[in-house]
Amino acid sequence: LVLVLLCMTLAFGSLIDDVKQRGVLRVGQDAGYMPLYGTNPDGDRIGLEVDILKKMAEILDVKLEFVVVNWDGIIPALVSNKFDIIWSAMTITPERALRVNFTDPYLTVGQIILYNTNKYELPPTEEDLNDPDVKIAVQLGSTGAEAANRLLSEAQIFMFETIDEAAFQVASGRADAMIFDSIYARFMAKKYDQLEVTEDLLTREDFGVAIPKGDFETLQWMNTFIQWIKTTGTLQELQDYWFVE
Ligand code: ARG
């Protein structure tokens, strides 16, 4: 009977219970998205989201484990239990919410144009870019790819698996611009002399944590944690530390 009850607890317990029992929180991310997450030369994961996750693991009293997958396969990987949560700069969208449950938002961004200043002396407008001669780099499966397809349908749009590959196309002059989240684009504009970002955002988007569907207990705990990092100023401190102006 004890065994049956134990099995039932394991089968029907919340994700948070599983994580605590296992002693490990498995987080799904893609390769890199600085300053939110990436890998330093020693192979350690670093970034704002990594710091938040360390805080979370400390409170849960568990170890933190990162599982790195391709962005366009990250939701299927969560659904098939390759990891427990996606905390990976994911935009909350109604389409994605059909497959996962999202927490409350913890950051707001927008799509922005990251361009090569050797190609454009002045910041290019949407009209400048919506042209068959223009090459746009985007990440496969991202909201940036969606925005580019919707707003720049005349341009040539090239899809890349990672955002660093896409940004490199622009930095090396092989593509004219990239459409992507403002946080990353501003970081890259700071890092590369020949890269710059436009002033205006093309969209507005909220980031949320994605968890498997139907686990109210875990969703509730995650929302409490997110509220707490906001109220205590923990999130603001990390933003001050990691974000470029
Ligand atoms: N926020 C965008 C989205 O949800 C892009 C994030 C994808 N890339 C990443 N490396 N996490 O589609």
pLDDT digits 0-9 by tens, 110-169: 999 999 999 999 999 999 999 999 999 999 999 999 999 999 999 999 999 999 999 999
Q: What are phi and psi of 128, to 5 degrees?
A: -60, -40
Candidates 48, 50, 68, 71: which one to mutate for ligand 1, based on the most atoms within 8 Å of Cβ? 71
Q: How far is the CA of 33 from the centre of ligand 1 (A)?
A: 8
Across the chain, mean pLDDT equals: 95
Residue 6 is predicted with a pLDDT of: 61
Among the listed residues 130, 138, 240, 238, the one whose alpha carbon sits nearest the alpha carbon of residue 185: 138
Whether residues 21 and 33 share a domain: the answer is yes
Whether residues 187 and 217 share a domain: the answer is no
33 in contact with ligand 1, CB cutoff 6 A: yes
Domain hosting residue 91, numbered range: 2-107+206-242
18 in contact with ligand 1, CB cutoff 6 A: no
Whether residues 139 and 176 share a domain: the answer is yes
Whether residues 67 and 89 share a domain: the answer is yes
Task: Write the ipTM.
Answer: 0.95
Whether residues 60 and 40 share a domain: the answer is yes
182 in contact with ligand 1, CB cutoff 6 A: no
Q: How far is the CA of 15 from the centre of ligand 1 (A)?
A: 24
Whether residues 103 and 212 share a domain: the answer is yes
139 in contact with ligand 1, CB cutoff 6 A: yes
Whether residues 79 and 140 share a domain: the answer is no
Q: Which atom of ligand 1 lies at the shortest distance from residue 109's CA? A: 1
User: Ligand 1, atom 5: nearest CA belongs to which residue?
Assistant: 142
Whether residues 50 and 167 share a domain: the answer is no
Whether residues 93 and 117 share a domain: the answer is no
Q: How far is the CA of 89 from the centre of ligand 1 (A)?
A: 5
Beta bridge partners of 19: none
Residue 13 is predicted with a pLDDT of: 85
Residue 11 is predicted with a pLDDT of: 57
Residue 244 is predicted with a pLDDT of: 78
C-alpha torsion angle, residues 18, 23, 29, 35 (rounded to 10): 130
All residue ranges of the chain with pLDDT < 50 are none
Q: How far is the CA of 140 from the centre of ligand 1 (A)?
A: 9
Q: Which atom of ligand 1 lies at the shortest distance from residue 93's CA? A: 4
88 in contact with ligand 1, CB cutoff 6 A: yes
Whether residues 8 and 83 share a domain: the answer is yes
CATH classification at residue 121: 3.40.190.10
CB atoms within 10 A of CB 202: 18
Whether residues 11 and 103 share a domain: the answer is yes
Whether residues 66 and 161 share a domain: the answer is no
pTM: 0.93
* Total number of domains constituting the chain: 2
